[in-house]
């Protein structure tokens, strides 16, 4: 927590792990994958128990407990940064159970900005829905829909030399275009504070045009293709 007291901070972004909160755990495996002997990850949380199902034991309980500790640490840091007037943002999938955690609900009023977007609108390979909650920085330009003019990489699992690999794990990394756009918005923010910074130049990574979304999206649970 020493870092949040650094006098040179102007903007901090948090990207807590989403594995134990992923709604992809609720999706059934295809018959083809089952025939190959693959068993999918089981749900570890739900709407009644966003902090973890009471039946969890062993490794699953350890994973959920570790994730919960990270979430609480993030929320504590966000409170401190907000008191200092430092801009913050935090990201997770749009329908992640993380947003239902008591610690995040308690700071909901601090995070006044809500932006939902699809990763493929920022150079990603899949139409994954993600959400940024923010305070004291405008990230509304990130709100973009898939333009619908390209093919998606498939969801599911593939077998490689080192075993099975889940496509959701590939989506944990931010697309380069998204990083570029958020960095430019952060640079614009700190420039307004009087810092001598230059927004990064354009990447040589092509990004498809995308329709913009409202700054605060109201997405019906049944309409979001988020994992």
Q: Mapping DSSP to helix (H, G, I), strand (E, B) and coil, where does residue 146 land?
A: coil
**Mean per-residue pLDDT pooled into runs of 10, the chain (227 residues):** 87 96 85 72 96 98 98 97 97 98 97 96 92 97 90 72 68 88 93 74 51 34 32
The pLDDT score that the predictor gives to residue 98 is 98
Give the pLDDT confidence score for residue 212 in this predicted structure.
42
- Domain containing residue 15: 2-223
In the chain, the number of structural domains is 1
Distances (CA, A) of 130 to 13, 116, 144, 179: 14, 6, 10, 14
Return d(Cα 122, Cα 145) in angstroms, integer: 9
pLDDT of residue 101: 98
């Amino acid at each position: 927590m020493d870092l949040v007291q650094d006098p040179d901070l102007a903007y901090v972004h948090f990207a807590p792990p989403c594995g134990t909160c992923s709604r992809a755990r609720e999706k059934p495996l295809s018959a083809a994958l089952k025939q190959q002997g693959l068993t999918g990850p089981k749900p570890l949380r739900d709407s009644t128990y966003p902090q973890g199902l009471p039946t969890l034991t062993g490794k699953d309980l350890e994973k959920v407990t570790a994730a919960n500790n990270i979430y609480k640490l993030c929320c504590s840091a966000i409170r401190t940064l907000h008191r200092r007037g430092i801009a913050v943002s935090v990201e997770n999938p749009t329908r992640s159970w993380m947003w239902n955690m008591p610690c995040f609900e308690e700071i909901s009023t601090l995070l006044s900005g809500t932006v939902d977007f699809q990763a493929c609108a920022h150079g990603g390979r899949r139409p994954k829905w993600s959400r940024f909650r923010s305070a004291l920085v405008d990230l509304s330009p990130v709100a973009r829909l898939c333009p619908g003019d390209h093919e998606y990489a498939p969801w599911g699992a593939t077998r490689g030399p080192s075993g099975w690999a889940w496509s959701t794990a590939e989506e944990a990394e931010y697309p380069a275009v998204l990083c570029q756009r958020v960095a430019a918005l952060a640079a614009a923010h700190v420039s307004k504070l009087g810092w001598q910074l230059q927004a990064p130049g354009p990447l040589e990574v092509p990004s498809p045009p995308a329709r913009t979304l409202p700054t605060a999206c109201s997405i019906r649970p049944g309409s979001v293709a988020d994992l």
